[in-house]
């Protein structure tokens, strides 16, 4: 005779096996489907690309009508709770005039003036909708407020708990180098960890808007169904558009989460999962998520043989990927003096700082910052004398005679207008 606990264990093992088989079966179908779709749509995709190009010309011209420099006042027009810890703000221009389009994946820079504080806080958030609407939308995860008045939780706390329709927020125009390549006909693979899904939602929205026939695979890692952003919308896209495949991975599903309905795979987003789902590494990959997610997938894709030019990723603050490849400069460790002219402060550079911005903050020198990863231009500072080097090893987009202290280190004695 078997004991009751033994029988329960056997039932548990059987259920797990059934769940795994359903994922494998789903993956197999998708793999066949993706391969077939890719071949079958080669011609139509070329046609679609031409169509998109033709359509985009008047849109781009129109987008310039609403362009602006610096900050422009926007009003919170609508607030939507996307999951237990994420809130979307729909932002419309206060002047009621047109707003420019943007490339799906780009971000906007928002300025928050806190009561009783002389200096505003600046934050960059990816746009979480496609272009061509009368508003911009950002979706912000509520992160723990770690105290102080500048910490990472301060603004997300305001947005998630205090924002009201009618609030005024000054905003810089959309920018950023992370965006969808709309000219490519390759399979689009959008890899998102948690709130990193926001730029992917923008890209997917755009692909749907333009009726693209490219195969799109969006893989979203979340803890469970309560914490997955845009769950219903993603599910709707997956069922409505044959070329869109959404795979939700829950690392800790709730008892109420149903595999095959709420999520497709249990666990984290891994390279093995990608290999099982995708027809080949010849896809265009877009990554955005927390550091472990970014590091493991970026390096995993490299090991799989994905060319670097096919991997696009969003670098924001601590999520910056540590590339193992050449070109990642080492931090300069000479004790060069750095002079902050306007603050009348001179300090010796130390390799304990990752950037001049960090050094400035440690010396109470105020430099406005947003993304802290060289994307938004908020920290741009004029160089009075000397040179800087960039830690990213990539091209930097800033005005002549200026630098981006968030990703720069001194290259010899340096004087900054800060
Ligand atoms: S803070 Fe965004 S570029 Fe430096």
Q: Is residue 332 situated within a structural domain?
A: no
Name the residue among 294, 117, 286 with its Cα closest to residue 216: 286
Mutate to test the pocket of ligand 1, among 367, 374, 402 (most ligand atoms within 8 A of CB): 374
Same domain, 296 and 400: no
pLDDT number for residue 149: 60
φ, ψ at 410 (rounded to 5°): -70, 145
* Helices assigned H by DSSP within 245-316: 271-277, 291-304
Residue 51 confidence (pLDDT) above 70: no
Q: Is residue 61 situated within a structural domain?
A: no
Backbone CA torsion sign across 113, 117, 122, 123: negative
pLDDT number for residue 315: 62
Tell me if 176 CB under 6 Å of ligand 1. no
pLDDT number for residue 30: 39
Return the bridge partners of 238, or none: none
Residue 229 confidence (pLDDT) above 70: yes
Mean residue pLDDT of the chain comes to: 82
Same domain, 314 and 199: yes
Same domain, 123 and 201: no
Same domain, 309 and 192: yes
Same domain, 115 and 152: yes
pLDDT number for residue 372: 84
Same domain, 341 and 246: no
Same domain, 83 and 170: yes
Residue 205 confidence (pLDDT) above 80: yes
Encoded tokens for 188? 């689009």
Among 263, 290, 319, the domain boundary falls at 319
Whether residue 63 contacts residue 101, with contact meaning beta carbons closer than 8 Å, is answered with: yes
35-55: average pLDDT: 27
135-151: average pLDDT: 80
Among 175, 202, 230, the domain boundary falls at 175
Per-residue pLDDT tens over the stretch 396-413: 888 999 999 999 999 999
Same domain, 41 and 71: no
How far is it, in rounded angstroms, from Cα 176 to Cα 283? 22
Encoded tokens for 385? 């004398």
Same domain, 198 and 312: yes
Instruction: Say how many Å lie between the CA of residue 324 and the centre of ligand 1.
Output: 23
DSSP 3-state assignment of 36? helix
Same domain, 353 and 297: no
How far is it, in rounded angstroms, from Cα 174 to Cα 181? 17
DSSP state of 195: G
Whether residue 245 contacts residue 217, with contact meaning beta carbons closer than 8 Å, is answered with: yes
Return the bridge partners of 90, or none: 78, 137
224-236: average pLDDT: 98
pLDDT number for residue 321: 58
* Model confidence, pTM: 0.75
pLDDT number for residue 6: 40
Q: Tell me the CATH number at 231.
A: 3.40.50.80
Residue 136 confidence (pLDDT) above 90: yes
Overall domain count for the chain: 3
Among 175, 204, 226, the domain boundary falls at 175
* Helices assigned H by DSSP within 123-223: 153-161, 197-209
Q: Tell me the CATH number at 404.
A: 3.10.20.30
Same domain, 110 and 194: no
DSSP state of 362: H
Q: Could you tell me the residue range of the domain that residue 153 belongs to?
A: 66-175
Per-residue pLDDT tens over the stretch 63-89: 468 889 889 999 999 999 999 999 999
Per-residue pLDDT tens over the stretch 295-347: 999 999 999 999 999 999 986 654 455 554 433 333 334 478 999 999 999 99
Q: Is residue 328 situated within a structural domain?
A: no
How far is it, in rounded angstroms, from Cα 127 to Cα 198? 7
* Helix and strand totals (H; E) in the chain: 8, 19
Per-residue pLDDT tens over the stretch 103-124: 999 999 899 988 888 778 888 8
Tell me if 375 CB under 6 Å of ligand 1. yes
pLDDT number for residue 44: 27
Bigger pLDDT: 143 vs 300: 300
Mutate to test the pocket of ligand 1, among 377, 388, 418 (most ligand atoms within 8 A of CB): 377
Mutate to test the pocket of ligand 1, among 172, 176, 406, 409 (most ligand atoms within 8 A of CB): 406
DSSP state of 310: G
Distant-in-sequence, close-in-space partners of 10: CB < 8 Å, separation ≥ 6: 2
Backbone CA torsion sign across 342, 346, 349, 350: negative
Q: Is residue 181 situated within a structural domain?
A: no
- What is the percent of the chain where pLDDT is above 90? 62
Name the band, by pLDDT with cuts 50, 70 and 90, for residue 294.
very high
Tell me if 377 CB under 6 Å of ligand 1. yes
Same domain, 202 and 294: yes
pLDDT number for residue 38: 28
Q: Tell me the CATH number at 102.
A: 2.40.30.10
């Amino acid at each position: 005779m078997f004991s009751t606990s033994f029988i329960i264990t056997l039932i548990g093992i059987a259920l797990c096996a059934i769940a795994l088989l359903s994922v494998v079966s789903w993956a197999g179908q998708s793999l066949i489907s993706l391969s077939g779709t890719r071949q079958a749509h080669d011609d139509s995709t070329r046609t679609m690309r031409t169509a998109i190009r033709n359509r985009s010309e008047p849109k781009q011209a129109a987008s310039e009508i609403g362009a602006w420099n610096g900050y422009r006042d926007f009003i919170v027009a609508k607030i939507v709770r996307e999951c237990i810890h994420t809130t979307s703000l729909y932002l419309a221009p206060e002047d009621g005039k047109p707003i420019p389009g943007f490339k799906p994946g780009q971000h906007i820079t928002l300025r928050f003036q806190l009561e009783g504080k002389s200096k505003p806080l600046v934050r960059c958030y990816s746009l979480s909708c496609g272009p061509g609407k009368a508003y911009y939308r950002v979706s912000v995860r509520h992160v723990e407020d770690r105290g102080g008045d500048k910490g990472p939780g301060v603004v997300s706390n305001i947005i998630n708990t205090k924002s009201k329709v009618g609030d005024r927020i000054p905003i810089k125009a959309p920018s950023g180098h992370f965006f969808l390549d709309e000219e490519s006909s390759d399979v689009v693979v959008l890899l998102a960890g948690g709130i990193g899904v926001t730029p992917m939602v923008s890209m997917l929205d755009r692909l749907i808007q333009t009726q693209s026939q490219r195969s799109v695979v969006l893989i979203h890692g979340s803890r469970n169904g309560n914490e997955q952003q845009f769950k219903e919308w993603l599910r709707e896209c997956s069922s409505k558009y044959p070329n869109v495949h959404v795979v939700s991975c829950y690392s800790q599903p709730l008892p109420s989460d149903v595999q095959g309905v709420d999520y497709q795979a249990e666990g984290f987003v891994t390279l093995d999962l990608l290999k099982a789902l995708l027809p080949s590494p010849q896809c265009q990959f877009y990554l955005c998520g927390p550091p472990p997610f970014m590091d493991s997938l970026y390096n995993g894709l490299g090991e799989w043989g994905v060319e670097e030019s096919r991997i696009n990723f969003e670098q924001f603050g601590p999520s910056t990927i540590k590339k193992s490849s050449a070109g990642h400069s080492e931090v300069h460790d000479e004790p060069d003096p750095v002079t902050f002219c306007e603050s009348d402060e001179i300090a010796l550079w130390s390799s304990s700082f990752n950037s001049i911005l960090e050094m400035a903050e440690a010396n109470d020198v105020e430099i406005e910052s947003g993304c802290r990863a060289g994307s938004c231009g908020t920290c741009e500072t004029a160089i009075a004398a000397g040179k800087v080097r960039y830690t990213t090893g990539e091209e930097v987009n800033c005005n002549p005679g200026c630098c981006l202290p968030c990703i720069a280190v001194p290259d010899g004695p340096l004087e900054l207008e800060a």
